[in-house]
Amino acid sequence: MGYSVLINGTRPRTKKMVLAMMRQDPGAVVWVNDSLYGQHAGMTFTGTNLPEGLDDTFVGPDPHRERRWYGQIKVSKGKVTVR
């Protein structure tokens, strides 16, 4: 699993909250790469500072204890797509 998500320092309860906040205030969304390996392993990005070419998955609300939903995040030509 690639990323976990924080919104204003707390874990969102639903993926719908992540999608809405990325539209409203992407700077308040923090993406944490929980992987041990790879180019961005262990790194943290705000929704406005995601690396170009990113194509990974995310899980929530908690990647270690409670995996109830999954999603995908992509960055291509400066455009961020979350689904």
Q: Encoding tokens for residue 81?
A: 């797509």
- Judged by DSSP in three states, 14 sits in coil
Distance CA(63)–CA(65), nearest Å, equals 6
Confidence (pLDDT) at 2: 87
pTM of the model: 0.92
User: What would the 3-class secondary structure string for 32-81 be?
Assistant: EECCCCCCCCCCEEECCCCCCCCEEEEEEEECCCEEEEEEEEEEECCEEE
Confidence (pLDDT) at 1: 57
- Tens digits of pLDDT across the chain (83 residues): 589 999 999 999 999 999 999 999 999 999 999 988 888 999 999 999 999 999 999 999 999 999 999 999 999 999 999 99
